[in-house]
Structure 1
Amino acid sequence: MKFNTRLFITALFFLAIAGYYGCKSPGSETINITPDAGTAYKLGDVVPVKASSSAGTMPDSVVYLIDSIRNTSRKDTLAARIKTDSLPCGSRLVTARFYKGGKVQEASTNIIIKAAAPPVEYTYRVNKVYPHDPASYTEGLEYHDGDYFFESTGLEKESYLLKVDLKTGKRLQAAKLDDQYFGEGIATVGDKILMLTYREGKAFVYDKNTFKVLSTIPYTWGREGWGMCFDGKHILNDDSSNRIFFLNKDTFMPESAIDVYDDKGPVNAVNELEYIDGKIYANVYTTDNILVINPKNGAVLQRIDMSNLWPMAQRPANFDNDQNVLNGIAYDKKGGRIFVTGKKWPHLYQVSFIKK
């Protein structure tokens, strides 16, 4: 039987009309809310939110909620003033509950909260250069006292959890993932190391000292497994988008999340993470940028331009620059040192960040 596209569209139109009048009788009262869905504001702005009745009814009260949490109320239809300075960045659900005569009606919209100002621009200074294994497709990087790193590497059949000497770049200990797994970021919590996989929907818990797999847990909350770090209270992980999840350090399950925004909008492809002096540092995949992010609201505070860290003129002619990009940030808290590297790069750099 031949499909009649025009007949199908016409049928859908009449079904929609029927559904509309089946749910709403002509002349019934509705509640309208402003601002329009998707209207953008910056952190610190005051947002006028107004609910009104299509019939002109005055309410007994109107209660306004942000993400289902009560924010403020009024006893008229004048605009409520919603402060944004304590809200996280991203899409926020705004709901008005319109009370009249013991009955309540609801209307909702959403607003987008962006960072209050453009990120402060930084560059870098190289303080020292160390060797790095060019076979390592770096996904996660952590410095530990004793001048060694825990490093995780990716790619099928090439994924490892490694202990690496800072001065020589040599592998001191290694655990290879099964060939079907593509290794991703790591976070060390106590005597355990949590390691994500890319698209396999699993994470592995290792003994920090023996590299023995203690358990396997499902990874279901993110689009993909990407970067990780530990802030002392929560494990942070991202998933290829602009979202950073905060995981319980004991159960490894998500408890909350932030969305990363600068003053223009969401910043996607947030990758390897490090927590330094109360801020999140993040590579942005396939770029030369490192972002400094407010962990409370997701606002990008600084952007560090790492261009030319390993100059193109020094790279082999057949080096895959599109895939083997800047990735890997590690922090020596005691020594105040910051280290960065890239996927299959032969160098690891100790750097300082300088305001432009």
Structure 2
Amino acid sequence: MRTFGVEEELLLIDESTGAPVPVARKVLDEHRAPRSGALPDEQQMTGELQQEMIEVCTTPQRELGELAEAIRAGRAFADATAQTAGARAVPLATSPLLVQPHLMPKLRYLQMRRRYGMTTRNSLTCGMHVHVAVKDDSEGVAVLDRIRAWVPVLLALSANSPFWQGEDTGHASYRYAAWLRWPTAGPTELFGTAENYARLEAEMAATGALLDSKMIYFDARLSRSHPTVEVRIADVCLTPEHATLIAALTRALVETAAREWRAGVPPVPAAAPTLRVASWQAALAGVRGDLVNPLTGRARPAADVVAALLEHVAPVLRELGEADEVAALAADVLDHGTGAERQRAVFARSRRLADVVADAIATGCPGPHLLQA
């Protein structure tokens, strides 16, 4: 059974106004201070590009139930620690309210601001990254080639960013649209071999447009920090349950792809521009419009494409004993909507974006509340 883990980026919010607040350094100082109820040693909480966000990372897990508990524990600890700094840590992929982000004072980020200007200054987006263990780079690249056509469906299921700078964008995931401003973001062509992957990394770094290879922001890539494939396309999900769904589907996709590679099954030969359109459509529609079916390259209702994904990974899910749970979680998203739909429903009732944030706190931040001293 492949291990898997999750990194979730969370917004730091003033609970009284709903606006993001630049308190990441204070939150991290609180995290490092000795206190009871601390985050388990195997998990981490770190800073990110902007001071209005933090990232919490689970340890690698084998069982889906264990990962679900780790996601809840990480969110609860991040939120409780944020409260000691006068904020809340909230799973919103973009801020519904107006915000002018404040860069973390780290040399790398300062270099990015000088180099990339407004792209860096306006990049306050929160994603969810799923790491799944692979044997080596050869297996990892074979997996990347075989999951690339399916990952837009993960984006649609995770969509949780309809608002940007106080406006409804018309997108279910505007985070993804904003993320595509970075030069390396998005889908990739088929690699074929680990050597081809390494060659492309070197070619992109040699252009001088990137600070280094860490700025290769593919939708799915080989991790250079862990022996994993890292799938980066999803929004941070509003609820821990939806985050668990994305993690389970990602692991099942990776295992299915590895088996196909060993069996000599070729990857879907879709071109990267076609996949970019598929991802863009997923970001626009979420699960309330058409998505591109990877097996046909044609638009189909989102429910049909999600069903095709579940069928694609069904043998692995059954072996792991996760098929019923994953099917139920997917049905919940299709029946009741993604975080984007919930945000819009809250706003439709009250016409107040602060209420959207308040609902996200209540929905996405599983207790406990304030840490004990």
TM-score scaled by length of structure 2: 0.24
The structure carrying a bigger helix percent of its residues is 2
**Which of the pair has more CA radius of gyration?**
1
The structure carrying a bigger strand percent of its residues is 1
